[in-house]
Amino acid sequence: MQDLASIRREYSQDKLSRDKLADDPFLQFDAWLKQAIDAGLPDPTAMTVATVDTQGQPSQRIVLLKDVSAGGFVFYTNTGSRKAQELAHNPKVSLHFPWHFLERQVSVRGSVEKLSVAEVAKYFLSRPRESQLAAWASQQSHPISSRQLLLEKFAQIKRKFNQGDVPLPDFWGGYRVIPSHIEFWQGGEHRLHDRFVYSRQGQDWQIERLMP
């Protein structure tokens, strides 16, 4: 195997300074997300979601951001999944957006609130039909003996709902991550990266530069 310690590159695409930042972190995030989309990055809305179990063991997985506003960052999942069970125990969560090709990262710390049934249903009905059926077929995070068994369950669900709309499963929901901190990271030469963190102070945001 190649010497992993020797794999590195310099980051020199851009610099980040306080006068480039919006006063509102959501405006800054929207600008960076738009640039990631416009740059043709694969899966620009992909984000790592980190949760912690009852033993203090963190776990991570990648999901897709489905909405962002001044209220927070939204994603959807099976409520029987590991992440949902861990969020039920501890609502604190972190997100990470890895936009490597732009030499940028955004990390978010905060806590979640559950979305209303109306919000979840609106999004669920907008999904492709096959994705709706897959939500019914999968007991997310539970063991299964083979892929073939999963495909058989999917086929059964497809036959069951072969007419009309696919109903919203009662075990499927959504979360809004309400941030307390949002950090923007821009790669810099010689590992002298630019980092700025927005910290919530009541209704306002405090902005600080962090050392790399």
Active site residues: 191
- Give per-residue burial for 160-182: e unless 16+ CB within 10 Å, then b: eeeeeebebeeebbbbbbbbebb
Q: What is the 3-state secondary structure (H, E, C) of 55-81?
A: CCCEEEEEEECCEEECCEEEEEEECCC
- Binding residue per annotation — 175? no
- Binding residue per annotation — 147? no
The structure tokens 């509102």 sit at 24
- Binding residue per annotation — 76? yes
- Binding residue per annotation — 192? yes
- Binding residue per annotation — 63? yes
- Binding residue per annotation — 159? no
- Binding residue per annotation — 62? yes
- Binding residue per annotation — 151? no
- Binding residue per annotation — 141? yes
Q: Quick count: other Cβ atoms within 10 Å of Cβ 194?
A: 20
- Binding residue per annotation — 127? yes
For residue 211, what are its two tokens? Answer: 């050392």
Cα separation, 66 vs 74, in Å, equals 6
- Binding residue per annotation — 198? no
Helices (H) and strands (E) in the chain, counts: 5, 9
Beta-carbon contacts of 27 under 8 Å, excluding residues fewer than 6 positions away, are none
- Binding residue per annotation — 11? no
Q: How far, in Å, are 6, 25, 59, 127, 143 from residue 48 at the CA level?
A: 26, 19, 10, 21, 22
- The amino acid that residue 78 corresponds to is N
**Measuring CA to CA, which residue among 114, 132, 125 is closest to residue 173?**
114
Write out the binding residues for FMN. Answer: 61-66, 76-77, 82-83, 105, 140-141, 185, 195
Write out the binding residues. Answer: 61-66, 76-77, 82-83, 105, 123, 127, 131, 140-141, 185, 191-193, 195
Write out the binding residues for substrate. Answer: 66, 123, 127, 131, 191-193
